[in-house]
A and B are shown apart, each in its own frame.
Chain A
């Protein structure tokens, strides 16, 4: 993959620049936000976008731009960590299942089927209701929610590659399962996992927005894009910018990751 290839793919280019932009915002917010994201000022409730408040203020007089910035930390944190949980556990399960096969495969895959039978968000709602709302539990719930899709991708990869001659040769030379899985097969299925990761990322961010929208995700007053969208709803007519801006930001993030994922997939497909 070189720079030329990268710039030729439009989705890849647009997707990665959108994400880079949001990433930049997130990095800046670690050190600086124009106002304290939770600072209330009842004198300037629901003021429209202006120079001093780029995105206007919310119903508590908090600066929406600062809250969006701070909220991007939550979005990235949740997206990244839940995908990491899903990816690592999912690949582990998929590897065991695909590499060893047999009854173990049957049992594991039926369990995954059971997980898949629930709509992901429902599963997350259930987990959060049991363990209580909050950032950590939201991450764990979203992570568990993304295990089945990763494990399926990993399983099919392992099943396919374990029949290849180079793998058989490695086994014949005395390589243990761990070595075969880690050195010989995993690098070969990495590309499809990367694509899935990128797509999953946006799924997790959307799911977090959904959970927070239901009051189950990040707890107030800390900003989360989903909860901001929820809080903006009653003011949809009288302060339309609040709901619009929040919605657009969520859309940009999700669109960015989806384009990135599509672009990466095209790239790898062409290569193979």
Chain B
């Protein structure tokens, strides 16, 4: 137990968990990363050994072998939907901006931008001298090509809904791009982290070409995906040190832990807390919130969950701390609304304990709602996510004490998407909503008119706040609107917001420089080996 406690600061978050990307499955959009404003990921001090004594020597070159649990779905950044794929290929592609460590917008291909008074016209100035991996210069024509594809201005289906609001794109010269929107959209800027691809190059799925710090070398299905250093990377401050990155496809979590121990691989980007315990000392382990919202969604349209008192009773009956201890080995951050503290600027504090566990209060509310003897509730969970299945078991146990008889029904992921996510045919479910950096995408899920509002939550005040937030350019005012929206969700008990499970990355002891981002991003350009 002593060892266990000591390591509690280390994280849990299996790769399978990270793969719960809801929008990714629903649309063709690749950008599951989008840059909002500030969000802060804290690497826990005792486990973050990145900063060590100054006598440490950086070694040039080297190869990093990374265990990936899933196969890439499509190498084309516009056609891929999986977060894992995106986090690998993000090293190959750069966008006008990149997601910063504090979830700020870091200029990448763009050097600066301007927004017009009416908030409809964005003018981007590009850096000069940027070359794609095939040697071609990156100019405004490439940006035009990329954005025309995404927005559907090339006459085809738009590849990303985030860009469908573009009315026109102009390229007055080789290094400026002027984008006009159909209507004001405060979330647009953040969408510009999407990859810029070379003009008229249509083989992205076979041999991806971008302008990022690493070049694509090869992909052997079922085995590995290899990247190598881009010697001509335009940003000298962010130039890669590591020569080669090999992503090894290893679906079995236990096998990858053993492989790291035996030295066959150098890094596991999503390791379970059991895996960390098994590793022991001598490894670099970094852990922090991953900007996920794990929740128990309640279908607000079915009886008896349509009664706010019943939903509040469920909230009172559930002990989130116990769930975090049991399911995540303590490596999770308690939530009170549909926002992770990783979204620092938009996060409404103080909601975590709005419904402090109180079984008597829960019974009282159930009584008031007309269910003195409780009721039957089905919790539908995707069977491939053990984390959620485990959570469901703890919740069922807790609800029993308040007289609610919960039955767990496991279904396959694809049926879950069909029944629960697309058609809202369920009573309650447990799932994780991942890393959206713009608050609109996070909270917009609860808007009455949102197509995939599987909570069936509908509240006029909430809709008003969200529609105002959508067009508010002033950041402080915008943040305030979204904070109010979160409070409303909590008061209305739209769901049971449980936790943000930590993401934990384990590496060889002398592999340094890994940074946590509020989105799943592995920035190998920042990493290096030290001499042992």
Using a CB–CB distance below 8 Å, which chain A residues touch chain B?
38-40, 42, 45, 59-61, 129, 132-134, 214-216, 219-221, 231, 233-238
For this complex, 17 residue pairs linking A to B, each with C-beta atoms less than 8 Å apart, are A42-B322, A60-B326, A60-B397, A132-B411, A133-B411, A214-B383, A215-B383, A215-B389, A215-B410, A216-B383, A216-B410, A231-B386, A233-B254, A234-B254, A234-B274, A237-B274, A237-B278
The verdict on B161 contacting chain A, using a C-beta distance below 8 Å, is: no
Return B258 CB to nearest CB of chain A, in Å: 9
Whether A60 contacts B393 in the complex (CB less than 8 A), given A215-B384, A237-B278, comes out as yes
**Cα distance, A134 to B383, chains bound together (Å):** 13
B408 touches A220 (CB 8 A): yes
Q: Which of B278, B393, B411 contacts A220 (CB 8 A)?
A: B393
> Smallest CB-CB separation from A236: which chain B residue?
B254
Return B390 CB to nearest CB of chain A, in Å: 7
Using a CB–CB distance below 8 Å, which chain B residues touch chain A?
253-254, 272, 274, 277-278, 322, 325-326, 383-384, 386, 389-390, 392-394, 396-397, 407-412
Q: Which of A38, A45, A236 contacts B397 (CB 8 A)?
A: A38
B389 touches A234 (CB 8 A): no
B410 touches A234 (CB 8 A): no
Residues of B within 8 A of A235 (CB): 274
Residues of A within 8 A of B396 (CB): 221
Determine chain A's interface SS by DSSP, over half rule. loop
> Smallest CB-CB separation from A47: which chain B residue?
B1
**Cα distance, A42 to B390, chains bound together (Å):** 13
Q: Which of A45, A220, A234, A237 contacts B392 (CB 8 A)?
A: A220
Q: Which of B253, B326, B411 contacts A234 (CB 8 A)?
A: B253
Return A129 CB to nearest CB of chain B, in Å: 7
Return A251 CB to nearest CB of chain B, in Å: 21
**Cα distance, A134 to B408, chains bound together (Å):** 10
A59 touches B397 (CB 8 A): no
> Smallest CB-CB separation from A42: which chain B residue?
B326
B410 touches A219 (CB 8 A): yes
Residues of A within 8 A of B277 (CB): 237-238
Return A30 CB to nearest CB of chain B, in Å: 22
Return B491 CB to nearest CB of chain A, in Å: 29
**Cα distance, A220 to B382, chains bound together (Å):** 12
B410 touches A60 (CB 8 A): no
- Given A219-B407, A234-B386, 13 more contacts at CB 8 Å? A40-B393, A40-B394, A59-B390, A129-B412, A132-B411, A133-B383, A133-B409, A216-B410, A220-B389, A220-B393, A220-B408, A234-B253, A237-B254
> Smallest CB-CB separation from B272: which chain A residue?
A234
Residues of B within 8 A of A220 (CB): 389, 392-393, 408, 410
Return A184 CB to nearest CB of chain B, in Å: 48
**Cα distance, A20 to B277, chains bound together (Å):** 40
**Cα distance, A60 to B395, chains bound together (Å):** 12
Return B28 CB to nearest CB of chain A, in Å: 27
**Cα distance, A220 to B394, chains bound together (Å):** 10
**Cα distance, A38 to B401, chains bound together (Å):** 13
**Cα distance, A214 to B410, chains bound together (Å):** 10
A59 touches B272 (CB 8 A): no
> Smallest CB-CB separation from B257: which chain A residue?
A237
Whether A40 contacts B383 in the complex (CB less than 8 A), given A59-B390, A129-B412, A220-B389, comes out as no
Return B519 CB to nearest CB of chain A, in Å: 26
